[in-house]
Amino acid sequence: MDAQIERVREILRGTTSIAVLTGAGVSAESGIATFRDPDGLWAKFSPRELASMDGFLANPERVREWYAYRKNVATTAQPNAGHIALAALEQQTTGSFSLITQNVDRLHQRAGSRNVLEVHGNLIENRCNDCETIRTDDVLICPDCSGAMRPNVVWFGEELPQDVFAAAEQAAMTCDVMIVAGTSAEVYPAAGLPYTTKRYGGIVVEVNPNRTELSSEAHYVLTGTSAHILPHLVGDVQ
Ligand code: BJW
C-alpha cells in the first residue's frame, strides 16, 4: 500500500474525532456528474439560469424540470465503494464523527452514514419560497401559504441552512482530522471548513484524482478516486 495512505490509516486509527467534507467527485463513480470537471454540469448548463433565484423567477418550469431530471438520476444511482467506506469509518470511530456533504443526492445516507450535514440541501425535498415549508411531494404551489415551491437546495447567493452550517463549523473546529474528498474546494463558505480545521490544529487529508485550491494547504494529499482510496483508509483493505 502507498506509504501516505498507510500513514493516514494509522492516524485515523489513533483518533476519536473525525470530520469529512465531501463534494460531487465522491458520487462520480456512481454515475452522477460533477460540476466543474471538463464533462461536468457547468460545462453544459448555465448556473445563472438553473442554480440561482433569478433563474428560477425567470423560468421556474425549466429549473424544476432540470431538478426533476437530476432527482431521477440520483434516486436510480447506487452508492459506491467510497460512500460505503465512509459509512464504515463512522461505525468504527469511537468518538465524534461528522460527514459534511455539499452533495444533494442522498447517497451517503443510502450507504448507511448517520451523522450527515447537508450544507447545500438535497434533491429529494422541495421548499416553499415564502414560508419555507418543506415537502417531499411535487406540488408546485405551497398548500400552506400559496407560495412557489422550489427544490430544497442552496443556490448561488443564498445563505446555507444556518443550523446545519453551524454544526459543520463546530465539527471543523473540534476534529483532529478532516478528510476532504471529491471537491474542487472552490465554493464558499463550505470550502473554508478545511482551513478552519487547520487553524484549530487539526490534520487535513485531501482525496482527489486532481489537484485543487486546497492541495497546497492539506497535510496529506492522496491522489486517486474516492472509490479507490477511501476503502484503503478503513477496514482491512490492503
Ligand atoms: C473526484 C472524482 C472521483 C472527480 N473521486 N474525486 C463571486 C460571484 C458570485 C458569488 C460569489 C463570488 N465569490 C464568492 C461567491 C459566493 C459563492 C461562491 O463561493 N462562489 C464561487 C464559485 C466563487 N457562494 C455562494 O453563493 C454560497 N452562498 C453564500 O455565499 O451566501 C452568502 C449569504 C449570506 C447571508 C445571506 C445571503 C447570502 C452558496 C453556494 C451554493 C452552491 N450551490 C451549488 C448548487 C447546489 C444545488 C445543485 O446541486 O444544483 O452547490 S453549486 C455546486 O458547487 C454545488 C456543489 O455542492 C458546489 C461545490 O462543488 P463540488 O462538490 O466541489 O464539485 P466540483 O465539480 O466543483 O468538483 C468536483 C471535484 O471532484 C473535482 O476536484 C474533481 O477533481 C473531483 N473528482 N472525479 C474523487 N471519482
What confidence tens digit (pLDDT) does each residue in 195-224 have?
Answer: 999 999 999 999 999 999 999 999 999 999
CA 71, chain centre distance (Å): 15
Ligand 1 pocket, 208 CB below 6 A?
Answer: yes
Q: Taking 50 as the threshold, does the pLDDT of residue 132 lie above it? A: yes
Q: Is the CB of 188 under 6 A from ligand 1?
A: yes
Q: Is the CB of 102 under 6 A from ligand 1?
A: yes
- Grid cell for residue 206: 485531501
How many CB atoms sit inside 10 A of residue 108's CB? 26
- pLDDT band for 235, please (50, 70, 90 cuts): confident
Residue whose Cα lies nearest atom 78 of ligand 1: it is 25
188 CA distance to ligand 1 middle (Å): 7
210 CA → ligand 1 middle, Å: 16
Q: Which atom of ligand 1 is nearest to the CA of 212?
A: 73
| Cα 80 → chain centroid | 14
By C-alpha distance, which of 210, 206, 180, 212 is closest to 193? 180
pTM of the model: 0.97
Condensed to tens digits (0 to 9), the pLDDT of residues 75-114 reads 999 999 999 999 999 999 999 999 999 999 999 999 999 9
Q: State the pLDDT confidence band at 236, using cuts at 50, 70 and 90.
A: low
| Distance between Cα 189 and ligand 1 center (Å) | 9
Query: What is the C-alpha to C-alpha distance for residues 205 and 194, in angstroms, rounded to an integer?
Result: 9
Distance 156 CA to ligand 1 centre (A): 8
Q: What is the pLDDT of residue 1?
A: 67
SS (HEC) of 167-197: HHHHHHHHCCEEEEECCCCCCCCHHHHHHHH
Contact 184 CB / ligand 1 (< 6 Å) = yes
Q: Which residue has the cell 459506491?
A: 80
